[in-house]
Amino acid sequence: MSKVAKLEIEGKIYELPIVEGSEGEKAVDISQLRQQSGYITLDDGYGNTGSCKSAITFIDGEKGILRYRGIPIEDLAEKASFVETAYLIIFGHLPNSAELNRFSDLLTQNEMLHEDLKFHFEGFPPNAHPMAILSAMINASSCFHQRILGPYDDEVFELQAARLISKVRTIAAFAFRKSRGLPIIYPKPVYKYTANFLHMMFSQPFQDYELKPEIVRALDLIFLLHADHEQNCSTATVRMIASSKANLFASAAGAVCAIWGPLHGGANMEVVQMLEEIHRGGDDGSRFIAAAKDKKSGHKLMGFGHRVYRNYDPRAKIIKAQCDQLLAVLKRTDPLLDIAKKLEEAALHDSYFIERKLYPNVDFYSGIIMRAIGIPLEMFTVMFAIGRMPGWIANYKEIMEGQGSRIYRPRQIYVGPTRQSYQPLADRK
């Protein structure tokens, strides 16, 4: 017999079905509640609300578990490439060699931007934020691929997905070059995904960037670790936009705006700014910890805490180890890494953070790797967006394939003025 929850409102009992996920997560299905009782639920910030059923990513925040399509993030981080992982996330299974070759070829064939898009880059001021450019250019590039603007078509979806994943990296690199007044470097078809991105970022017309395998691998890993994270702010944005049957590029452009915020993808920049400030001030970080604990200060310990994880973010563990490894290979030290480790140590022994179960999240150490690679601060959130593209695309696909067939339309509890009359301008004080 299927399980039900009973809800009593004003003496009347409503039976609500219990829904169970494949990993034992349980939910009370309230989809008929308003129709039956006139009541809705109120859940500020959606902390207790499942907006959809999804088969892409599983997170157990209490235990610190993250799996893409059932495969633990630790396995993928050790064995897979970003492109292989992107395929897994979007299409639901690890690609065989024919599938991987085909998808990689599609990425290569779609790496160029239409030449006319270069004029769009010209229109941005030199100090424009690359996230603004990225979002605008994703939308603009859709105008050059009219089939994308039509209704969802299963057959062209693979091409659209590859096109978006491939072009976003070219747009990002061009945006960086433009912001520095540097000549644009075109992609090279011989390079694989991440190597090609580094080439477009750092080569000069007279000299190719030296691709160190350790650096290529470290950035590939950063992309892979960011590839999906279930219903976070930007992914929920994709689903929201897609539910209106908007096209893939429009949905992704909206998600780029959502991930830009400092409480989401923008946190990786803020972490490094915080570490730099501690370094400049010669402080041991205790001032920052004290400010983060003081609600009136308006400060938080950036790179700490997570809506879902009440344990160490598994991605942060992998990135922390990668930081040590990369700096050792490059024979470099970074005082910010030492500060970050001390800050983590102090926070993890502080009752404020212990009681609230606040641990380092993915952003706490990722900026240190990006600094070591030579990615400038203003591009950090762009790296996150490039990495997250497969997750956004997979969620878009789920919506289009009917698992969220209704348009997303939350309700609200209105708390504004009750009915009042219109006052003519002359009568207003």
Residue 222 touches ligand ACO, criterion: CB under 6 A: no
36, with CB counted inside 10 A (0-12, 13-18, 19+), is middle
Alpha-carbon distance 336 to 313, whole Å?
20
Q: Give which of 256, 254, 257, 253 is closest to 138, Cα–Cα.
A: 253
Residue 307 touches ligand ACO, criterion: CB under 6 A: yes
CA distances from 190 to 107, 197, 227, 371 (A): 12, 12, 24, 26
Catalytic residue check, 306: yes
Residue 363 touches ligand ACO, criterion: CB under 6 A: yes
Identity of the residue, 140 or 379, whose beta carbon is nearer to ligand ACO in the bound complex: 379
| Minimal distance, residue 151 CB to ligand ACO, in Å | 32
- Length in residues, the chain: 429
Q: Candidates 86, 201, 250, 301: give the one binding ligand ACO (CB under 6 A).
A: 301
Alpha-carbon distance 310 to 317, whole Å?
14
Identity of the residue, 174 or 288, whose beta carbon is nearer to ligand ACO in the bound complex: 288
Q: Candidates 304, 359, 365, 396: give the one binding ligand ACO (CB under 6 A).
A: 304
At position 317, the amino acid (one-letter code) is K
For residue 400, what is the DSSP state?
I
Identity of the residue, 157 or 359, whose beta carbon is nearer to ligand ACO in the bound complex: 359
Q: What tokens were used for 105?
A: 């070829």
Residue 305 touches ligand ACO, criterion: CB under 6 A: yes
> Angle, to 10 degrees, between the axis of helix 97-109 and the axis of helix 82-91?
100
Residue 358 touches ligand ACO, criterion: CB under 6 A: yes
Binding mask 253-292 for ligand ACO (x = CB under 6 A): ----------xx--x------------------------x
Alpha-carbon distance 283 to 299, whole Å?
17
Task: Name the phi and psi angles at 201, rounded to 5.
Answer: -75, -45
Q: Candidates 300, 317, 371, 397: give the one binding ligand ACO (CB under 6 A).
A: 300
Total of residues contacting ligand ACO (CB under 6 A):
17
Residue 391 touches ligand ACO, criterion: CB under 6 A: no
| Minimal distance, residue 386 CB to ligand ACO, in Å | 14
Residue 362 touches ligand ACO, criterion: CB under 6 A: yes
Pairing state between β 71-72 and 4-9: unpaired
Chain positions contacting ligand ACO, by CB under 6 A:
263-264, 267, 292, 300-307, 356, 358, 361-363
Just list the catalytic residues.
306, 363
